[in-house]
Structure 1
Amino acid sequence: MEHGYGGIPEALTCLRSLAATGTPAILRLPESTAAWAKKALDLGPQGIMFPMIESPKEAQKAVSFCRYPLNGVRGAAHSIVRASGYGIDAGYLGHCEDELLIMCQVECEDAIEKIEKIAVVEGVDCIQMGPLDLSASMGYLWDPGNKKVREKLRKAEKQVLEGKIGNEKNNGGAYLAGFAMPHDSPEELKSRGYHMVSGAVDILLFRKAAVEDVKKFKLSLEIGDGSSDDDDPTAEGVDADDKYWSE
């Protein structure tokens, strides 16, 4: 719900579809507030992702949004919401907090400097790296594959992973999650120790298929008018992503 056009009604439709196939669902909020967390959690997702977490204090607040008083500030309507089966799940209050995956996105340069402490906040299950916002905060909006951005990201990754190893005996420390990028494949993320990888994006899959279809149509015309394809991002051998993601 952060960048997509959908809100609560659209999220509910997605949750129903995923539930039909036994697939866990994670909702990413448009902003990290108690009101949005309450609306999202009442829908009954298996996980919730908070964007733009910039300090341990903000991470603690995010966790509190997911817990009922006295352990948190989540608004209580558990007897009538989808998450509890509209009250049919009598044991909901006993298991809802333990079964919820809480993810915090760390995605700006200032937050990266505090990531070691954010990752060990009690209740934070997973740190989701945000490479695009990180590159933007460092002045490389159009170049997320820049060497300086990659170096900053690698350092942060190691801190999260080391924190997880150092706290495993106490069931503490967050897992590491991230987004695959054209310059940073799922395989590369896995090799660096990521526990969760977000791979292909539906919009990009659709766009790629549409562009390929246009390419095939243009080739089939065989016009041969002598025009140059050098500046055409849909031309054979030219990928608009290559221009955007290049260092």
Structure 2
Amino acid sequence: MPAPINTLKQRFKSGDTTFGCWLSFAEAGPAEVMGTAGFDWLVIDSEHAANDVRSIRNQLMALQSSPSSIIVRVPVGEPWIIKQALDVGAQTILVPMVESGEQARQMVRACTYPPNGIRGVGATATRSSRFSGIPDYTETANDQISLIVQVENRAGLAALDDILAVDGVDCVFIGPADLAADLGYPGQLTHPEVHETILGVLGRIRDAGKVPGILSLSEEVTESYLAAGARFVAVAIDVITLIRAARATAQRWISATPT
């Protein structure tokens, strides 16, 4: 029995445009709820959310029946945390702050079993192999792992062509907030210089045959990213979705009720 099919990787290859949501609560309950919302994919974020390998595992368990594909963003591009995320069941890994082609190649190697990679061979007792329930996991897992790397600063932009040339990188995701800050416009994601830079980079990623990715909570800005070639687009963050709805509801009734 081979490793499970990574349907998101298949959609990358098919040229589909997909839409997803960030999961930032670091809890299984909210993750399970979001798994019923209908997004193409969900990102369990351990860069800025309070996740560790156990909470990542618990959310993967809670989302096992969800039709959404699940991605794990590791906090930093280190092989040890990538190994742990893969062993608890992740099949798609998102790595922040990739700044060189060599770093991208190292991330590919971290996701790949020897002899072509450095992922530790120990799947017998892990959730990824269904605890030895998938006897051919080690032999077939490499083909089902998908790697997304984030380019989100000037160093990454300078190395973009080298990063795009790396086999094994399926998607290059632009981090607009970090990029805006590094360009000198913190908090100004739609500043003309930032916006034009992002549009140009999305086009370069598309032209190189990789999947261009981006996050945007503005419908108008999202449309401009799609027109520039974005095909992997985060359009929501669970915490922001909740607080916007909660604040709107509170404002609606508190402001309308006489004291």
Aligning the two structures, in what range does the TM-score lie when normalised by the shorter sequence?
0.7 to 0.9
1:66-85 correspondence to structure 2 within 5 Å: 66-85=111-130
State the structure with more CA Rg: 1
Could you say which structure has the higher strand fraction? 2
| Mapped partners of 1:184, 1:40: distance in 2 | 34
Structure 1 range deviating more: 150-159 or 196-205: 150-159
Partner AA of 1:21 in structure 2: S
Give the CA deviation at 1:187: 3.2
Q: Which residue is equivalent to 1:171?
A: none
Identity of aligned residues (%): 26
Alignment partner of 1:16 out of 42, 45, 61: 61
Give the CA deviation at 1:184: 5.1
Q: Deviations over 1:13-62 (max 9, x none)?
A: 21112211243210000000011101101011120001100010100010
The answer (yes or no) to whether the contact 1:27–1:49 under 8 Å persists in 2 is: yes
TM-score, scaled to structure 1: 0.82
Q: Which residue is equivalent to 1:117?
A: 162
Q: Which runs of 5+ in 2 are unaligned?
A: 1-45
Give the CA deviation at 1:183: 6.9
Give the CA deviation at 1:117: 2.0
| Mapped partners of 2:220, 2:256: distance in 1 | 34
Partner AA of 2:77 in structure 1: S
The answer (yes or no) to whether the contact 1:32–1:51 under 8 Å persists in 2 is: yes
1:208-223 correspondence to structure 2 within 5 Å: 208-223=244-259
Q: Deviations over 1:119-174 (max 9, x none)?
A: 1201101101110000011111121211111121122112111111xxxxxxxxx2
Coordinate RMSD, CA, aligned: 1.5
Alignment partner of 2:133 out of 85, 88, 91: 88
Partner AA of 1:70 in structure 2: P
Q: How many residues align?
A: 214
| Mapped partners of 2:107, 2:178: distance in 1 | 19
Q: Which runs of 5+ in 1 are unaligned?
A: 165-173, 224-247
